[in-house]
Homo-oligomer: A and B are copies of this chain.
């Protein structure tokens, strides 16, 4: 799957992943109102509006980007109906040829991580048949429990030709609280990065990258520079561009000399573009066109930064 992602990045010339992270505040009013009229003001209506929102967004950007990253928490907040919208979003995006990174940040003891890996990347066996739960192409994984919490994901990646991104240095303001602390003279995130290399060693694909990538926030460009070098064969998923404050110029060092090695996420900056002054002319009715314009601007910003 890492090779598929790389091929799509090359084809679109866009190392960009769009975060499909719907919230009540981002949902265009006309979609919510239509769903309320049909279902009443309830969670089923909201979930229907979320799916309609995602589908219009995907239709507008599918030719521009290689991948999307739905953040499952935003769907989980709406319980079972929300998770049904997540499941249908994943399926729709895959039908449209997009690589789907499930931003699930799971991680547990071995037997439990195995169940999460089955849920998001693999399958369970029922009688004679295989059942696939959410079936994303990639998932994000939390490393706090160490190797035996991550290995079950790597095993499923190898079996199913899928991939993971392990949290190394996250984009949030307090990420340094534990991740930056020095252990034998090096930050915790460096130690995690070392393990990312180890965990992915057996899964390097034809483009020279492993199925085990890393998450490193755009908001920490200096750390990104160091981590790029520490994990030469790991793709870096870079959140924090746009709404969280990261800029195009900060991104250069997340890439390798081959122009590959990083994929930059923007969520609110794209899907909520219609609410920004810059794209206000589109109006809520044309939120998907605003998203497309924001993707094109982001693409230009990154291309210009990469020179």
Question: In the complex, what residue of chain B is closest to A181 when comparing beta carbons?
Answer: B183
| Interface size bracket, A side | 35 or more
Partner of A80, one of B84, B126, B170: B84
Note all chain B residues with C-beta closer than 8 A to A78.
119, 124, 131, 133
**Residue A226 CB within 8 A of the other chain:** no
CA distance in complex: A143, B192 (Å) = 15
The distance from the CB of A230 to the nearest CB of chain B, in whole angstroms, is 16
Q: Once the chains bind, are B144 and A76 in contact (CB under 8 Å)? A: no
Closest approach, in angstroms, between the C-beta of A192 and any C-beta of chain B?
7
Q: How far is the CB of A110 from chain B (nearest CB, A)?
A: 6
A146 close to B176 (CB less than 8 A): yes
Q: Is A134 an interface residue (CB 8 A)?
A: yes
Hey, which chain B residues are within 8 Å of A149, CB to CB?
170, 172, 174
Measured in the bound complex, the distance between the Cα atoms of B133 and A82 in whole Å is 9
Whether a CB of chain B sits under 8 angstroms from the CB of A41 is: yes
Q: Is B131 in contact with A146, judged by CB distance below 8 angstroms?
A: no
A87–B244 alpha-carbon span in the complex (Å): 33
User: Contact flags (1/0) for A169-184 with B, using CB distance below 8 Å?
Assistant: 0111111111101111
Q: What separation, in Å, do the CA atoms of A124 and B146 have in the docked complex?
A: 34
**Stretch of A100-108, A255-263, A284-292 that contacts chain B:** A100-108
**A115: Cβ under 8 A from any B Cβ:** yes
By the criterion CB–CB under 8 Å, are B174 and A112 in contact? no
The reply on A127 being an interface residue by CB < 8 A is yes
A71 to B105, CA, bound (A): 16
Q: Are B192 and A126 in contact (CB under 8 A)?
A: no
Q: Are A133 and B76 in contact (CB under 8 A)?
A: yes
A46 to chain B, nearest CB (A): 6
With the chains together, A244 CA to B80 CA distance in Å?
A: 32
Residues of B within 8 A of A195 (CB): 177
Of residues 28 through 47 on chain A, the ones whose CB sits less than 8 Å from some CB of chain B are 36, 41-43, 45-46
A148 within 8 A of B: yes
Which one of A77, A124, A171 has the highest number of Cβ atoms from chain B below 10 Å of its Cβ? A77
Report if A188 contacts B (CB, 8 A). yes
Q: Please list 13 pairs of residues, one from A and one from B, whose beta carbons are closer than 8 Å in the complex, sorted by A's number.
A: A42-B127, A43-B131, A73-B113, A73-B116, A76-B116, A105-B108, A144-B170, A145-B174, A145-B175, A146-B175, A177-B195, A178-B188, A181-B188
A-B CB proximity, top 5 nearest: A146-B177, A41-B127, A79-B133, A146-B174, A73-B115
